[in-house]
Amino acid sequence: MIQKTVHTPAPAYAETRLSNVRGFVFDIDGTLALADKRLSGYQPLPGACELLALLRERCIPHVGFTNGSTKTPQQLSQALTAIGIELDERHTMTPVSVAIDLFQRRGYKRLLVLGGEGVWRPLVDAGFDVVRSPERADNADAVLIGWHPEFVLADLDAACRAVWSGSAFYTVSKAAVVASREGRTLGISGALSAAVQSVTGKKAVVVGKPSTQALTCASGRLGGVRPSQMAIVGDDISLENAMAHRGGAMSIGVHTGLSSAEDFERLPTASRAHLSIRGVDRLLEMLS
């Protein structure tokens, strides 16, 4: 059980639930750190480094889970560790981590990928036959769309033709925007998947947050901690908060990214975060 000293008042039910948490899933952008508008150049948010150090000291499992796909888990781990947010590669997740687990279970072999190295490299390393758009792969088992700021019309054409030919259709995210130091930044994978859907009429399956596939993958990285024993910490009411409620996990909403305290408060009572706090520095206080 987590022992804590609460420095400022928190709802009693939230304190009780927090005391029973066995593993944490942390969003990265807007929760642990903020990047520039190209999702690089990370800076830690207050309390982030110290909070993860406390969890390591107490042997409480935790993962960092971004919905971004600009970097491979290894690259992201290195970038975060360099600024004091220590997360090893195994405990640094992107939606492509989820896609690998899902695609292996479904027996996919050949993939058409729209995205940069953070999207295609982990799939190649996992043994998939990866075709990178704008090259066509009309016979692909699946199409996956990720972070791809250099996209051109031929990328969309290749994706649409594969989907028309029967390829399954996935995206890392449908989020319209993500948090950065410059404020809201366009969610490119969401925009591209919406474009393909508008042409083909087929909806993309989300492999990132808030999907149940993402929750299953996170559970595995936490050593089998069940969702009901997790706390999911994030700044986005439509992603981390939604995923927590979907899986029966504790939702801890922070106000350092996309969603404000007022945004969390405006949600229907049953959909609100179980704990809405200024940032992870407040969570550090509660667990200290």
| Pair 172, 134 in one domain | yes
pLDDT of amino acid 41: 77
- In this structure, the strands spanning 183-186 and 177-180 are antiparallel
User: Does residue 255 lie within any of the structural domains?
Assistant: no
- Could you give the angle at the alpha carbon of 25 between the alpha carbons of 19 and 29, nearest 5°? 130
Does any domain span residue 254? Answer: no
Q: Are 216 and 91 in the same domain?
A: yes
Asked if residue 172 lies in contact with residue 204, where contact means CB atoms within 8 angstroms, the answer is no
Same domain, yes or no: 48 and 60: yes
Is residue 2, in this structure, part of any structural domain at all? no
Are 117 and 166 in the same domain? yes
Instruction: Give the pLDDT confidence score for residue 180 in this predicted structure.
Output: 61
Peptide bond into 95 cis (omega under 30): no
Q: What does the pLDDT read at residue 17?
A: 92
Residue 1 counted as domain residue: no
> Digits of tens for pLDDT over the chain (288 positions)?
344 433 445 677 888 899 999 999 999 999 999 987 665 678 999 999 999 999 999 999 999 999 888 899 999 999 999 999 999 999 999 999 999 999 999 999 999 999 999 999 999 999 999 999 999 999 999 999 999 989 999 999 999 999 999 999 999 988 776 666 666 677 788 899 999 999 999 999 999 999 999 999 999 999 999 999 999 999 999 999 999 999 999 999 999 998 999 999 999 999 999 999 999 999 999 999
The 110-114 sheet, strands edge to edge: 129-132, 110-114, 142-145, 168-171, 205-206
Q: What is the pLDDT of residue 7?
A: 42
What's residue 273's pLDDT? 96
Does residue 69 fall inside a structural domain?
Answer: yes
CATH number at residue 51: 3.40.50.1000
Domains in the chain, number: 2
**Are residues 113 and 160 part of one domain?**
yes
* Distance in angstroms (rounded) separating the CA atoms of residues 35 and 233: 18
Q: Is residue 5 a part of any domain in this protein?
A: no
* pLDDT the model gives residue 187: 74
Give one DSSP letter per residue of 183-245, joined into a string.
Answer: EEEE-HHHHHHHHHHHHH--PPEE-STT-HHHHHHHHHHTTS--GGGEEEEES-TTTHHHHHH
What is the C-alpha separation between 82 and 124, in angstroms, rounded? 26
75 within a domain of the structure (yes/no)? yes
Confidence at residue 4, expressed as pLDDT on a 0 to 100 scale: 42
Question: Around 157, how many Cα atoms within 13 Å sit in the side-chain half-sphere?
Answer: 6
Is 216 found in the same domain as 202?
no
Query: Do both 138 and 190 map to the same domain?
Result: yes
Same structural domain, 16 and 74: yes
Is-contact 111 129, C-beta < 8 A? Answer: yes
Contacting residues for 24 by C-beta, under 8 A, at least 6 apart: 55, 60, 61, 62, 63, 230, 231, 232, 233
Domain hosting residue 115, numbered range: 107-206
